[in-house]
Structure 1
Amino acid sequence: MTDPSPVAPPRPAPEADAPDLGALTEQVAEASRFVGPLLDAVGRVVVGQAQMVERLVIGLLTGGHVLLEGVPGLAKTLTVSTLAQAIDARFQRVQFTPDLLPADLVGTLVYNQAESSFRVQKGPIFANVVLADEVNRAPAKVQSALLEAMQERQVTIGETTYPLPRPFLVLATQNPVEQEGTYPLPEAQVDRFMLKTVVGYPTRDEELEIMRRMSRGAPLEPAAPVVTPDQILDARRVVGGVYVDARVEEYVVDLVLATREPARYGLPDVEGLVAYGASPRASIALALAARAHAFLAGRAYVTPDDVRALALDVLRHRVAVTYEAEAEEVASDAVVRRVLDAVDVP
């Protein structure tokens, strides 16, 4: 009889040589000079919400789209628009509504009667930073049009495909799906978001400061541009070179595998709670997000703490729970936290 006990996952061979961390640290320090001024520019407009701002900057540094979820009134739209103002790049805001059409987003062909020909009228998706405000209020056809732009960095108008500008980033906000008048996002589209950040309420002191600022009736001063698209693209190349030790890579993969095969990692009670786990796209996103987190800390190498700091945001929208879990009021966040507690940290 075969042994039914769990089998440990295979371990790849460690890397032979680590890079020159001294030289890499100098590159990180040089490429991250704009981060401080960028955070300051946003902080002069937005009170608190440091975690949300950090996640948005990680999206900038990796090219990963970010989904912000929270009830109305938590400064999601203000934060995204302020961050876009601090970047010397083209910004477009699209208010997603039930009557929005795909052409309203990507553009359409317009007939020129004088010349008897069609010309392309490009939509707001042709921008460096696109704010998809209340993204879960638009119907499926619009979500499908947005999906091609998010994944392929291109859109098709008529019979022609047009590349989107670089950098290109979708920062979307949504109210929780329990709110009236919203549509659950398709699973394929949700998976294209690198991070899903749940935005919470401010602290008492933060709310007091918000009230004082906003109740004066004076308009908010827009954030001044402090970084260029070229600086962001240069920083992305440095982020991609941040060193990840083989043991940390294994840890990333183990976390993702544990969402698919909980019993294999000592979580038999989670087995019946997960309908399907995170895809390999989650492993890629978690490693890249951890690199960006280390970059923001001024380090040229990734630690397990970088991975753990981003694991919930990377995995929560990629783990689908069963009806049994919903009946027991166990959300995907709880499943991911159990995985984090169970998988050994290197």
Structure 2
Amino acid sequence: MPQIRLLKEPGYIYDLIFIFYLKFNTKLCINNLDSNDKKLSENIKFFNDLLDQFPEISEDLYVFFHAVENGRCFITTQYFNPHKEQFSTTFNFKFLQKELSDKDKIIRNMVRFYFYDLTDEQVDDCVNSSSALFSYIKNSNYGAEIKSKLYEFFHDTEHHIQTLYYELMTKEFMLSQYYEKNYQKILDVYNQTTFETLSKNLKGLDDLNFIKKDNLTLYVSFCLLRKYCMNFFGVQEGVVYLLGYDYFSVLDFVKNKKDLNLLDFGNAICEESRVKILELLLERSEVTCKDLEKIFSFSGSTAYHHITMMTKIGVVKTRNEGKTILYSLNRKYFDAIIDVLSKYSSK
């Protein structure tokens, strides 16, 4: 059976990025937790504790770590994912520092990240002309906050880059101390991880047989802070799995997300009355069947039929308050649907 090689640096740098990502996307990180998990409150506390342990992050770093569509942030997209071929060799904190020492490259990458549909010529215009760049910012579909932060960054890039450089060094030192105290967690899960156990855990998500068949190398790198992550990177000599040390506790949730059926989703929303219910849930957060009867003049059976159909596939979630059932949007379901639909998108 293939041997599994442990890599420290990819997971370590991913955790370093997560310190900042969590700061600027706290609500998103919490919303991505499984709302049905019995450890939900414990996991929220874990995130809040991390914010307390790595405090005082400058707002000037917003554009580097704020999540845009699909949860992507600038640093991960431009300075982590593209270097997957170095994960098993030269990728470490010094490598990241060197990459971020090129100011002109950061500016160009920033334009490409926030305005990904521009041509090379248009990117050149933005780099060489503030008026062209500010025009794209002004006419973009971004909200007022993102536009303001982009104006600030491109008006004084030197200050923002120096702040990024300093804060990365500060938090990296703090993270190294955190790893010294907690690295045994990684060793424990690694010692329990064999090719067979990993294949079993990932069954339904990934098939690892090609690694054995093609005699490839299987690398794993564990995260301590982003403890539930599961990412896969194909590299020249094999594959790298980036896993949170507690990834196996959310496997069922992730597998359920992958098993989403677009036909079920289409059937759930093809009726106009159910679309109106979704709009109501968006407006009111929670409703009861009695609310639906009153607002839409449904009979009891009609209201129950519509809400049950959407609850059954996960579009709507429930909670009990005494004998009353309250219904609300399952936003994680829609996040997952967006992931499923993204393969049909041109972007």
Is TM (by shorter chain) over 0.5?
A: no
Report the structure number with the largest CA radius of gyration: 2
Q: TM-score, length-normalised on structure 2? A: 0.29
Say which structure is richer in helix: 2
Larger RCO (CA within 8 A; separation ≥ 6) = 1
Q: TM-score, length-normalised on structure 1? A: 0.29
Say which structure is richer in strand: 1
